[in-house]
Amino acid sequence: MNWKNLGRTKPIDMILQEAETHTTHNPEMNAVETGMKRTLGVWDLTAMGIAAVIGAGIFSTVGTAAAQGGPGVVFLFIFTAIACAFSAFCYAEFASAIPVAGSAYTYAYASLGELLAWIIGWDLLMEYAIGNIAVAISWADYFTTLLDGYGIHIPRYLTMDLLTASRGFGAVQENLVKGLSMADMTAKGLVTSAQVDAYSAWLNAPHLMGIPLVMNLPALGVVILVSWVVYIGIQESKRVSNFMVILKLIVLALVIAVGAFYVKPANWSPFAPHGVTGILKGVSAVFFAYIGFDAISTTAEECKNPQRDLPRAMVYSLVICTVLYILVSLVLTGIVNSEHLAVGDPLAYVFGKDGANVNWISGIIAVSAVIAMFTVLLVFQLGQPRIWMVMSRDGLLPKIFSAIHPKYKTPWFSTIVAGVLVAVPSLFMNLTEVTDLSSIGTLCAFVLVCAGVLRFDPHRPKVPGRFYTPYINGKYLFPALVLIAGILLLKFNGDGVSDYFSAKGDFKEKIPLAGFLLGIVYLCWLTFKRSFSLIPLLGLTSCAYLMTELGWTNWARFGIWLVVGLVIYFLYSYQHSKLSGAEGVKS
């Protein structure tokens, strides 16, 4: 093996030519398959971005973030949006220069080399699959609650995962052995209604070989339905997405307008009850809400004018979604005290009897949550197969993954596989086990895309009609900003810094931040030497910092996933790559 070839990049002209002329022979259907339908305009793409971002985050995980950060969670939304905006500039530059499917994988192949492209592609597979598993589980929770409201009750053992049922059973059983009745333990707040449901599920589930058959059938069903819509075509997916996005924007506007009349300003004091540390604890939940905007770039080969429309749609969707998240979080924390928002359905909760007591709007929220999360599933299930398709086109995955359906013009095999990989785990996995893993994968992708833009010469000739990240010389600005950030951190979170450098806490949890700090020092030196562009530097730095907030456990899981990916790369992808044996590749 020639180790220098691991850094071989794929010329942009070659990528564009292959995407334009791509045809595959499908032996199963005995047909030559042509390219994909170009049917998406700028507003279709913007709607898809909104569809992907306004989902489980605003209807579910925003409650957890608000409970930890208080009303000050709006600063986390702003900070995360800024970090995403820096990354969005970099995505937009790549999308304009390389308007093909594949998203960050394709961009890394053109700028950072094949090995890093494989890593980011493998990373994106986890991001999309894990993200959709989490959304499917959250959708199932809202759907079950909605049916309960209409008197339709699905057996509890068919609406949750085995781990949740087991934990709920253990919590209730622990109080039962103490002689407490179910009524007593719920009245005293020793167990939640969700734990009671989990206890019931464990107790009433049929058994197979002594194991309770507890599974989440609604989650399985919605993934099958979404996969079918994605399979039959981009035109159908676009219509469904656009219609549902309009509905949920109307509902969110209603929530904000009605909720504003029930806001109690006293609930906003203190604005950050747990300080900066409390605000940053919600980074996983908040960033999980934003991970969808990059999914737009996977549809590049189905856009009418990708070089113009993709950059615009990314910016439009990011701005719209950030404004909505800030307004909704202010309404939530204004109606009830933020400490009570750590619930699975915060919007419905604040309008219920413990909040504004406007019951009619709770039903509307439940319906809109089901719609909103369906669109998230739809966009993510669109994105994942198209990344596989491009990786297969490059030879890094078997050819069948790039097969295009002769009638529907979609990557049919990749769509089916993606559906299976999301549907089956959603039957058995727990929501809290998957959210953080999806966030760390997305942040890694953002970091590498920003690093890819840093590799370009900012003074190269500009091609008319393309989008370019504005060049601001970071030679002196970036080190100065790092120094200012350090001073502010010491001023407003000095105790946290002292705790980090003391013997307190778990040593493993300090490793990610230590690596980040060393990386920042090196990046400052490199920037001073090479005059890197400031915007991708800030995108890389902010996303890398957010990764350090996700905890050692998630880093360990992420590392295991990458190791598995590297094994596959060296056993299969390296030998089958179209660049294998190619001469003149960059190293």
Do the beta carbons of residue 137 and residue 431 sit within 8 Å? yes
Q: How would residue 501 be classed by pLDDT, with cut points 50, 70 and 90? A: low
Q: How far apart are CA 55 and CA 324, in angstroms?
A: 12
- Look at 1 and 574; give whichever has higher pLDDT: 574
Nearest-CA neighbor of 57 among 128, 135, 127? 135
Instruction: Please state the φ and ψ torsions of residue 65, each to the nearest 5 degrees.
Output: -65, -40
pLDDT, tens digit (0-9, with 9 covering 90-100), for 297-323: 888 788 888 888 888 888 888 888 889
Report whether 102 contacts 91 (CB < 8 A). Answer: no
Taking Cα atoms as reference points, which of 216, 214, 215, 236 lies closest to residue 226? 236
Q: What percent of the chain has pLDDT over 90?
A: 12
Q: Indicate if the pLDDT at residue 585 is higher than 50.
A: no
Indicate the average pLDDT of the chain: 81
Question: Residue 209 — φ and ψ, nearest 5°?
Answer: 55, 40
- Considering only 89-93, 99-103, 213-217, which range has the smallest mean pLDDT? 99-103
Amino acid identity of residue 11, one-letter, is: P
Cβ 404 vs Cβ 411: under 8 Å? yes
pLDDT value of position 416: 93
Instruction: For residues 40 and 295, give the distance between their C-alpha atoms in angstroms, rounded to a whole number.
Output: 14
Digit-coded pLDDT (tens) for 333-355: 888 888 878 776 787 778 877 77
Q: Which of 442, 391, 409 is nearest to 102 (CA)?
A: 391
How much is the average pLDDT of 556-560? 86
- Please give the share of the chain, as a percent, with pLDDT higher than 70: 87
Distance CA 11, CA 394 (A): 12
Sequence-separated (6 or more) residues with CB below 8 Å from residue 479 = 524, 527, 528
Distance CA 185, CA 189 (A): 6
In this prediction, residue 513 carries a pLDDT of: 82
What is the predicted pLDDT for the residue at 28? Answer: 41
In sequence order, what are the residues at sequence separation of 6 or more whose Cβ sits closer than 8 angstroms to the Cβ of residue 558? Answer: 126, 437, 440, 441, 444
CB atoms within 10 A of CB 505: 10
Residue 582 has pLDDT above 50, yes or no: no
Whether 105 and 441 have beta carbons less than 8 Å apart is answered as: no
- Residue 67, Ramachandran bin (φ over 0: left; ψ between -120 and 50: alpha; else beta): alpha
CA distances 554 to 129, 464, 572, Å, are: 16, 43, 27
Alpha-carbon dihedral of residues 200, 204, 210, 212, nearest 10 degrees? -60
| pLDDT band at 38; cut points 50, 70, 90 | confident
C-alpha distances out from residue 522 to 277, 326, 493, 516, 518, Å: 26, 35, 24, 10, 6
DSSP 505: S
Residues in the chain: 587
pLDDT for res 33: 42
Strand locations in 130-179, DSSP E? Answer: none
Of 284 and 172, the one with more pLDDT: 172
pLDDT at 486 over 90: no
- Name the phi and psi angles at 52, rounded to 5: -80, -30
pLDDT for position 525? 95
State the Rg of the chain over Cα.
Answer: 24
Going by their DSSP bridges, the two strands 31-33 and 207-208 should be labelled as: unpaired
Asked if residue 32 has pLDDT above 70, the reply is no
pLDDT at 19 over 90: no
Instruction: Tell me the domains of the chain and their CATH numbers.
Output: 3-146+220-455+533-576 (1.20.1740.10), 162-214 (no CATH)
Parallel/antiparallel/unpaired status of strands 211-212 and 207-208: antiparallel
What pLDDT score does 50 carry?
Answer: 86
Q: Is the omega angle on the peptide bond into residue 536 within 30 degrees of 0, that is, cis?
A: no
Structure-block tokens of residue 265? 């300003």
Q: Taking residues 284-298, what's their average pLDDT? A: 70
State the amino acid at position 148 in one-letter form: D
CA distance 106 to 99: 10
Q: Given a cut of 80, is residue 492 above it in pLDDT?
A: no
**Span 129-139, mean pLDDT?**
82
Q: Residue 37 has what pLDDT?
A: 72
Task: Note the pLDDT of residue 222.
Answer: 92
Q: What is the pLDDT of residue 135?
A: 81
Q: What average pLDDT does the segment 495-518 reach? A: 70
DSSP 8-state code for residue 573? I
Of 224, 274, 156, the C-alpha closest to 415 is: 224
Contact 202, 166 (CB under 8 A): yes
Query: What is the rounded end-to-end Cα distance, in angstroms, of the chain?
Result: 14
User: What tens digit of pLDDT does each residue of 422-475 get?
Assistant: 988 888 876 655 666 667 877 888 898 899 899 888 888 888 878 888 899 999
